[in-house]
Structure 1
Amino acid sequence: MEGAISSRPNKRIAVVTGGNKGIGFEVCRQLARDGGVTVVLTARDETRGAGAAEKLRALGVTDVVFHQLDITDASSIATLVDFLEARFGKLDILVNNAGVGGVEYPQELDANDEKVSSLHQFAGLDSNQRLEWMVKNVREPIDAARKAVETNYYGTKHVTQALLPLLLQSSSQGRIVNVSSEYGLLRLIRNEEVRRDLNDIHNLTEERLDEVLDKFLQDFEADALEAHGWPTGFSAYKVAMAATNAYTRILARRHPTLRVNCAHPGYVKTDMSMGSGVLTPEEGARGVVKVALLLDGGPTGKYFTKGEEASFV
């Protein structure tokens, strides 16, 4: 499961969650190939994760090792921490890429099928039209909304908290990159109180984030999203991303020796977008990797889109 690579003491170590396909797979490939980093590729499914690591090695990317990780499972997170402590004793880069769409896809479109992007043609449609197509072709039940919040926000948070001690052991400034989305921008939330609180980075707390997410799920179940100013169309994904962006800024404030940032890869052709994106996973990963490899003393607590600093709003 863990592979047989060894790493020089001064070589940087990276963990990438959700690394078995799409953007995550490309982030692993580019970090190991171009960044000179030893990459721990993690995935929930052991067979798929081990297969992805083997695929990278077949491509000549040898400095990669697989370890199973379900970011919603505390015991799985703890097992990864134990492995990293025993194998490397530190961590330099954490890329939180694992996530879910918070929707149910049409039965004929299996969101876990990597061939899905070849099933539909979007020639002649711009990005907004493609996004509209996506919204019209999915369902948003409450169970999927809860899963999005639990995975995209709380899963990311719990992995990050567990790995913080190892990141603080980095000889360079440890980096945390939360793969984000323009769907997490605050302008999409019409509720002025929520939007203000999520942007009040000097006073925002994790407890307030919990309250916001609890209220969102209550309103979702009561079919009161529009009435209370929440976004619609991939609503849980949007709110979970906005919360993750806010948590990123809290972490950056709390740990000034780390570089903690959000990275929006762009609208990428993946199973989550049902192949409707305009960028390849390779293109989308480039911006994420650029943020992961920022120089010491670089920006922290920032939002990047396709590798360039932008606004959270």
Structure 2
Amino acid sequence: MNVQRTALVTGANKGIGLETARQLGRASMTVLIGARDEERGARAAAALRREGIDARFIALDVTDAASVAEAHRTIERDLGRLDVLVNNAGILLGRSTPSATRLDEVRHVFEVNVFAAIAVTNAMLPLLRRASPAARIVMVSSGLGGLANHGDPAWEYASFNAIAYPASKAALNMVTVQYAKELAPTGIKVNAADPGYTATDLNGHRGTQTVEEGARASVRLALLDDAGPTGGFFDARGPVPW
């Protein structure tokens, strides 16, 4: 008997998260729209259902331990397992120069972009371990988190000079590698996705890609077969420099 596979996407009520859920839903997965705003999350899930996708809103504030625990209980009760986790939720603050950086902004960015990804992953791992075939975990990172990129003066975004966001994504890349090492024997694959410069609220819609393009890397990593990689950093075209 074929059981429909299920994916949880955090921060999925809009932007790349919503489009990632849409594309996974079109790949015949049940998609859980993780969002802290009930009205927006429910509206996003309803919009996907009108497209014929099995989409369900799940209340999830990734920075709130009680909310994360309740989301785990809800998924366990209603579905029993989880096949894909896409840690998509993220924020961008602290665009000033390093010397003007405010520590409160850095802490806030790390709370959402790094610590929350760890908290959600750890909470969902018991459900992910029940997946058959093995589950997939996608950490939505950024090319701005690649140290090699920032060391290359010819890189198209070399002028970007801030601490909070790039440092958080560099840290998330390390988080990805460490989970991948631990979970390799289980068959669970853990990879980081670089969506590319995508037009979303995060950058005031200045990005040069559509959300459809921006979601492709995450979707591809979420749907990897058993021969696919783990512990890597990829955009829609292939490996990205660390």
Q: Structure 1-normalised TM-score? A: 0.70
Q: Confirm or deny: 8 A CA contact 1:177 1:288 kept in the other structure.
A: yes
Query: Which residue number corresponds to residue 263 of structure 1?
Result: 193
Q: Which has the larger radius of gyration?
A: 1
Q: Give, in whole Å, the separation in 1 of the partners of 2:229 and 2:21.
A: 22
Summarize the Cα distance change of 1:73–1:9 in structure 2 as closer, same or farther, 3 Å threshold.
farther
Residue 167, structure 1, aligned to residue 160, structure 2: no
Deviating 4+ runs (over 6 angstroms): none
In structure 1, what residue type is equivalent to 2:85? L
Give the deviation of 1:297 after TM superposition.
3.1
Partner SS state of residue 255, structure 1: helix
Give the deviation of 1:307 after TM superposition.
4.3
Query: Which residue number corresponds to residue 63 of structure 1?
Result: 54
Residue 48, structure 1, aligned to residue 40, structure 2: yes
| Correspondence list, 1:4-15, <5 A | 10-15=3-8
Query: Which residue number corresponds to residue 86 of structure 1?
Result: 77
**Count of aligned pairs between the two proteins:** 231
Cα displacement string for residues 81-110 of structure 1 (whole angstroms, at most 9, x for unaligned residues): 00111111111000000011023xxxxxxx
Residue 183, structure 1, aligned to residue 105, structure 2: no
RMSD (CA atoms): 2.0
Give the deviation of 1:9 after TM superposition.
6.2
Q: Structure 2-normalised TM-score? A: 0.90
Residue 247, structure 1, aligned to residue 239, structure 2: no
In structure 2, what residue type is equivalent to 1:31? L
Summarize the Cα distance change of 1:307–1:50 in structure 2 as closer, same or farther, 3 Å threshold.
farther
Give the deviation of 1:10 after TM superposition.
1.6
Identity rate of aligned residues, in percent?
A: 43
Cα displacement string for residues 222-268 of structure 1 (whole angstroms, at most 9, x for unaligned residues): xxxxxxxxx97341111111111001000000011211000101100
Is there any run of 5+ residues in structure 1 with no aligned partner, and where?
A: 1-7, 104-133, 191-230
Partner SS state of residue 203, structure 2: coil
Partner SS state of residue 42, structure 1: strand
Summarize the Cα distance change of 1:234–1:56 in structure 2 as closer, same or farther, 3 Å threshold.
farther
In structure 2, what residue type is equivalent to 1:237? Y
Q: Confirm or deny: 8 A CA contact 1:13 1:91 kept in the other structure.
A: yes
In structure 2, what residue type is equivalent to 1:297? A
Is there any run of 5+ residues in structure 2 with no aligned partner, and where?
A: 152-158
Partner SS state of residue 262, structure 1: strand
In structure 2, what residue type is equivalent to 1:51? R
Q: Give, in whole Å, the separation in 2 of the partners of 1:188 and 1:308.
A: 15
